[in-house]
Chain A
């Protein structure tokens, strides 16, 4: 009789995001700038 116990990872406890997702985040970070005018208005800039 086979007594092997298979532990299923149903809860995806060790899952990691795709490398492309990480690359997208890091690219966004490099392109994103936040500035505030003297009157206190927030300006978001995405640089190419």
Chain B
């Protein structure tokens, strides 16, 4: 069988049916793109290898559970998994305590950069994307109150006037929007924490 001539969908189908060689070919075909992406973000070859391995462990688990339904867009999907695992890596890294200088003088107090670092920026960007996706799933009347309150900065009185409801109704809609948003976060396994 000429594995190299096969497209991703064919290789995945073969692998799901138990052909290990198909997985090997699939990895060989995309390892450069996926690993380069991870390495460009993490900038450490050993850690990039760890993340790359985690990406394929995740992919294998999805294939074997029968939940794969990307239909020919394997690389995009694999890069999305890579992106999420890179973010997980940075999140974990921030939780690991570091040894601080015991001397009074610390050069990093002087050269400290107050701008957001690349890792935090990536996590923040992902949080904003996740949040935007979840907010759009809210019922329209709750979405409207949430937008007017948080994005337009209106008071509940102004929201009530603008939407033609009482202040209590506007407050109630806001409350349910937050409750529903929390449920959606749990359901979608989304974390909105920077650390």
Interface residues of A (CB under 8 A from B): 11-18, 20-22, 24-26, 28-30, 32-34, 36, 42, 44
Contact = CB atoms under 8 A, between A and B. Distances in A.
B49 A21 contact: yes
Interface in B54-73: 56-57, 60-61, 64-65
Contacts of B40: 11-13
A33 B64 contact: yes
A24 B36 contact: no
B53 A24 contact: yes
**Range class of the B interface residue count:** 20 to 34
Contact of B56 (A14, A25, A42): A25
Main secondary structure of the interface of A (DSSP, over half): mixed
A16 B60 contact: no
A22 B57 contact: no
B61 A25 contact: no
Interface stretch (B20-28, B159-167, B181-189): B20-28
A15 to B, nearest CB: 5
Given A24-B53, A32-B61, A15 B20 contact: no
B36 A14 contact: yes
A34 B56 contact: no
Nearest to A20: B49
B20 A26 contact: yes
Contact of B53 (A12, A25, A32): A25
Interface string B29-59: 0011001100110000100110011001100
> Which of A12, A20, A33 is the most central at the interface, judged by chain B CB atoms within 10 Å of its CB?
A12
A32 B53 CA distance: 14
